[in-house]
């Protein structure tokens, strides 16, 4: 490995602290009945990190079951269309199940088995985390239940069918808006009731400590592979690295290795795309950092969309995976520290990027990933026509065909 990719001692990024705080964000705000389970999980994770058998099994599954490393594709026609010198796509859409979620669910289900938990539960919005959890559970012989909002069940019927086919129970949640935040709330309530025999596989880099760090660890393979691929291909300095952000697992998995392996001078601009829905000037968006404020929800302290009384507000996005009124605590810390830029992207911009990648490269991305792709023309104006940008394509768009068809996008 060249010196350009070695850690710099004076700029090493270190988080969280022993209580799970990333700066002021994170922590563990849960009922007392859940505290022992979180401590048990933290201890099991600590032991697993030094267990060569656990590491070898996880890495073996990533290679032979998930299909890693995923390619770093140079999208030449896309680069020309958006006015950039080079665009490189980290193809998480080519993993088994079609999204980055499988990296995390395999790791957590291995932990569940290690802890003697024969049953796992999960929440899902777009359905990809639900499918990935059901897949990992089937592989490892675990019972599985997935909580999903009724509106998301309608929007993501194909993934609902896949989960059931894989042997999972899909639990409809009709509280509130019937979307991701409601599914998380329902899963947490259920976990409190079944905490002794059930492992909660959280899908994003949020929740009470140690989940944000745990998810980051399993997803960091994205950024680590990207850095190695850039070096192996002698691509040189990258100007920006972009990923979409809802809760933020694919983004933190992409950004974290860049934060810890490169000095501030060598590090590219890191950019997160959050859901602006119909515009952040309206009430119909999911832009927690652009329009939210710090508060507590689902066991952690972070930026949230909330009213004056501190109650979570309804989030909106055309993307079911970004339709959440909060963001992972590490992203809040990175935002305040100025280490990552977060930019809102509207539904219309995401759909335009969805079509552009499909037409120029023959790659149909998830609508979530399309939010990141939508930032390319903006970055071209800022960075210039010679700039090199990496985009994490977090998933494929099969699940979104009904949504884009309803939006009248097909030509």
Summarised one tens digit per residue, pLDDT across range 293-336 is: 999 999 999 999 999 999 999 999 999 899 999 999 999 999 99
- Domain of residue 113: give its range: 18-64+101-210
Spot the catalytic one: 302, 317, 332, 394: 394
Please state the three-class secondary structure of the chain as a single string.
CCHHHCCCCCCCCCCCCCCCEECCEECCCCCCCCHHHHHHHHHHHHHHCCCHHHHHHHHHHHHHHHCCCCCEEECHHHHHHHCCCEEEEEEHHHCCCCECHHHHHHHHHHHHHHCCCCEEEEEECCCHHHHHHHHHHHHHCCEEEEEEEHHHHHHCHHHHHHHHHCCCEEEEECCCCCCHHHHHHHHHHHHHHCCCCEEEECCCCCCCCCHHHHHHHHHCHHHHHHHHHHHHCCCCCCCEEEEEECCCHHHHHHHHHHHHHCCCCCCCEEEEEEEEECCCCCCCCCCHHHHCEEEEECCEEEEECECCCCCECCCCCCCHHHCCCECCHHHHHHHHHCCCEEEEEEHHHHHHHHHHHHHHHCCCECHHHHHHHCCHHHHHHHHCCCCEEEEEECEECHHHHHHHHHCCCCC
Last residue in a domain, options 160, 186, 210: 210
Tens of pLDDT along 55-106? 999 999 999 999 999 999 999 999 999 999 999 999 999 999 999 999 999 9
Q: Is 237 a catalytic residue?
A: no
In a domain, 1, yes or no: no
Decide if 4 is inside a domain: no
| Residues 253 and 380 grouped into a single domain | yes
Global pTM reads 0.95
pLDDT score at 252 = 98
Does 293 share its domain with 388? Answer: yes
Which one is catalytic: 28, 42, 92, 101?
A: 101
Q: What is the pLDDT, as a whole number, of residue 410?
A: 57
Residues 54 and 73 in one domain: no
Specify the CATH number for the domain of residue 92: 3.40.50.1100
Q: Are residues 224 and 188 in the same domain?
A: no
- pLDDT score, position 23: 96
Is 225 a catalytic site residue?
A: no
From the candidates 28, 42, 92, 123, which is the catalytic residue? 123
Among candidate residues 187, 210, 233, the one where a domain is terminated:
210
Q: Is the pLDDT reported for residue 174 higher than 90? A: yes
Does 382 qualify as catalytic in the annotation? no
Checking if the pLDDT of 11 tops 60, the result is no
Q: What is the pLDDT of residues 112-129, one digit of tens each?
A: 999 999 999 999 998 999
Q: How many domains does the chain have?
A: 2
């Amino acid at each position: 490995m060249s010196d350009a990719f070695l850690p710099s001692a004076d700029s090493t990024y270190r988080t969280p602290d022993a209580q799970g705080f990333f700066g002021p964000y994170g922590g563990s705000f849960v009922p007392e009945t859940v505290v022992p389970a979180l401590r048990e999980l933290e201890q099991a994770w600590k032991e697993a990190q030094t267990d060569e058998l656990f590491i070898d099994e996880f890495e073996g599954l990533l290679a032979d079951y998930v299909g890693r490393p995923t390619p770093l594709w140079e999208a030449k026609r896309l680069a020309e269309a958006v006015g950039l010198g080079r665009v490189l796509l980290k193809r998480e859409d080519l993993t088994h199940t079609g999204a980055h979620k499988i990296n995390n669910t395999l790791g957590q289900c291995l932990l569940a088995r290690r802890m003697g938990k024969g049953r796992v539960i999960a929440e899902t919005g777009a359905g990809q985390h639900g499918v990935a959890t059901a897949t990992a559970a089937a592989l490892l012989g675990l019972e599985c239940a997935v909580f999903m909002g009724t509106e998301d069940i309608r929007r993501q019927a194909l993934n609902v069918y896949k989960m059931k086919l894989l042997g999972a129970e899909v639990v409809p949640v009709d509280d509130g808006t019937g979307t991701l935040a409601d599914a998380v709330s329902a899963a947490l309530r259920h976990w409190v009731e079944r905490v002794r025999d059930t492992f909660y596989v959280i899908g994003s880099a949020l929740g009470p400590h140690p989940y944000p760090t745990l998810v980051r660890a399993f997803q960091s393979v994205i950024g680590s592979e990207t850095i190695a691929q850039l070096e192996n291909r002698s691509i040189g300095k990258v100007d920006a690295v972009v990923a979409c952000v809802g809760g933020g697992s694919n983004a933190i998995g992409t950004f974290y290795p860049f934060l810890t392996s490169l000095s501030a001078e060598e590090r590219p601009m890191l950019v997160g795309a959050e859901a602006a829905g119909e515009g952040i000037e309206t009430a119909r968006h999911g832009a927690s950092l652009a329009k939210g404020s710090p508060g507590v929800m689902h066991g952690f302290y972070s930026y949230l969309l909330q009213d004056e009384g501190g109650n979570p507000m309804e989030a909106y996005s055309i993307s079911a995976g970004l339709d959440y009124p909060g963001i992972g605590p590490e992203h809040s810390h990175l935002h305040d520290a100025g280490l990552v830029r977060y930019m809102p992207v509207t539904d219309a911009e995401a759909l335009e990027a969805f079509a552009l990648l499909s037409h120029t490269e023959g790659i149909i991305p998830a609508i979530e990933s399309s939010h990141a792709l939508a930032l390319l023309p903006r970055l071209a104006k800022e960075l210039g026509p010679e700039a090199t940008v990496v985009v994490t394509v977090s998933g494929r768009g099969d699940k979104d065909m009904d949504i884009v068809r309803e939006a009248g996008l097909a030509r």
